[in-house]
Structure formats: C-alpha cells, structure tokens
Amino acid sequence: MNKKIRVGVAGYGTIGQRLADGVAMQGDMELVGIADLAPTLSIRALAENDMIGANNVKYNLYLVDGADKSQFDQMGIPVAGTFEELCKSVDIMLDSAPGGVGAKNKVIYEKLGVKAIFQGGEKNSVADVFFHGYANYEKGLGVNYLKLTSCNTTGLIRTVDALDRAFGLEKVAITIIRRVADPGDYHRGLTNALQMEKAPSHQALDLMTIMPHVNATGILVHTPVTHGHIITVLATAKDGRKITKEE
C-alpha cells in the first residue's frame, strides 16, 4: 500500500476549512494538522466538537508565531504545537493564510524543505507556477511551489477551458458581478454603493496568464451583498463559428 501524503493547512478560515475537510476525505492523504493565530469562530466551533472534523478525523491545532497560547488555554482549546513543528511533520503545506502571510510562511517552508500550494490571494511571484488544475495542470508537475487562481478565476477558467478544448477560442469577454465579502466578513464590505474595478479585471489578466492563446478582457463590479456572484462569458471561436446552446 502506498504511503499517505502528509498534509498541513495554514489558516483555518473560509478556504482553510474546506481544504482541511477535503484532505480528511481523501484516502491517500493524512491531515497532520491545521495552523492559525487566534481562537476564531471556526476554531471554537471545532473545539466544541472535540477537534473532530470531516470523516471523523481529529484536527490537531498548531499555533503560528504571535499567537497567544493562553487565549486557547482559557477556552479549553487543545494545542498540539508550533507552526514550525507542523511543517516538520508534513510533506506539503496548503497555505490559505491571509494574502501576504503566505509569502512570509514560504521562508519557513524553504528552510525545512517543505513543498507548498498557496491560495489565490498571494502574489504570483510566491510560487514557481501560477496554477489551474484544468488548463495548465502539466506545468505544475515536478515543482515545489504552486499558487492557485482565485475562486472566481478558477470557476471561470473551467468554463473557458472546456469551451476552448471543444471549439478553439480566440477571445472572451467576461463580466463579474460579485459579492463584496463572505457572510462572516460583511463588516469590511460596501454599505450602499457599487464599485467597479479598472478594466481588464484581474480575472481576465489571470486567464491570459494561464491560457495565453486566448485574448481576454472583462469588468468586475463589487456589490453590497454577501450571497454569491454572477459571471457571464461571451466567447468567440477561432474560426468565427457560432457555438450553439446544444453544443
């Protein structure tokens, strides 16, 4: 039987919770632990369930530099060790820490010889490859550090890549009307306004980085809501042919 890949998750927020649960559900992976700074709502909820997460797996908690362990002790939240101790025990880290923190964590990963995958909020320069699991999977093979596309860009490229493989695309025009924040982060959102970012949006630029043969442009509008996004794609095939709904 092949040895399981030992995985750690840095940052147990919106993305980190999904990553930890996903790893816990994989038969070929072992979730060694999660790391965070403060006893957030998600960690307190986990502690109320005796640190048992998805698939009845125990989520061992490690603290990053700057964390106040006494806060966790006062709440009865068990701590397994430090962030570096977690990194020493894994084959790869899934870094879902806030934007910019992952780049600082990379110093530790490099020192310990640990591979890592960074969430979309980091700068592209943090990794060897700006990565999408569909459109440029082969470029991620054999490298130590990957940075994923953002959630919007990930879903967008899935659609564009499927159309490109089927029909061969020349260009796309993208419109994204997005919620301004996750439900738990509404305190940092717009109150009563619409905010449009400079065109082309970063999603269009990111798409062209992943799929340089497709010319892309797009606009993005932030809206004062917390429930979902609307994404539209106007795609043009290379030969000018019309792509029907049935196709």
CA distances from 4 to 20, 21, 73 (A): 15, 16, 32
**Residue 88 located in a structural domain:** yes
- How many other C-beta atoms lie within 10 A of the C-beta of residue 127? 23
* Shared-domain flag, residues 214 and 93: no
At 239 the pLDDT is: 86
**Residue 119 located in a structural domain:** yes
Cα(170)–Cα(236) distance, rounded to whole angstroms?
Answer: 6
**Residue 51 located in a structural domain:** yes
* Shared-domain flag, residues 132 and 214: no
* Shared-domain flag, residues 108 and 167: no
pLDDT in tens, 127-174: 999 999 999 999 999 999 999 999 999 999 999 999 999 999 999 999
Domain span at residue 185? Answer: 151-237
**Residue 243 located in a structural domain:** no
Describe the strand order of the beta sheet including 215-223 as a list of residue ranges.
Answer: 195-196, 215-223, 169-179, 230-237
**Residue 246 located in a structural domain:** no
* Shared-domain flag, residues 110 and 68: yes
* Shared-domain flag, residues 135 and 159: no
Regions of the chain short of the pLDDT cut 50: none
Q: Which of 146, 144, 167 is nearest to 210 (CA)?
A: 146
Instruction: Output DSSP code: residue 241.
Output: -
* Shared-domain flag, residues 12 and 128: yes
Residue 87 appears among annotated catalytic residues: no
Q: Last residue of some domain: 113, 148, 183? A: 148
* Shared-domain flag, residues 129 and 231: no
**Residue 67 located in a structural domain:** yes
* Shared-domain flag, residues 54 and 166: no
Cα(96)–Cα(130) distance, rounded to whole angstroms?
Answer: 15
Query: Is this prediction's pTM over 0.85?
Result: yes
Residue 201: give its domain's CATH number.
3.30.360.10
Q: Last residue of some domain: 148, 167, 196? A: 148
* Shared-domain flag, residues 42 and 127: yes
Residue 94: give its domain's CATH number.
3.40.50.720
CA distances from 111 to 87, 88, 145, 186, 198 (A): 10, 10, 13, 37, 38
**Residue 242 located in a structural domain:** no
Per the residue annotation, which of 57, 77, 129, 151 is the catalytic one?
151
At 244 the pLDDT is: 84
* Shared-domain flag, residues 136 and 38: yes
Helix and strand numbers (H, E) in the chain are 7, 12
The full DSSP string for 165-191 is HHH-EEEEEEEEEEESS-GGGGGGS-S
At 185 the pLDDT is: 73
In three-state secondary structure terms, 6 is strand
* Shared-domain flag, residues 136 and 187: no
Q: Last residue of some domain: 148, 180, 205? A: 148
At 1 the pLDDT is: 57
* Shared-domain flag, residues 104 and 141: yes
Tokens 């709440």 sit at which residue? 75
**Residue 221 located in a structural domain:** yes
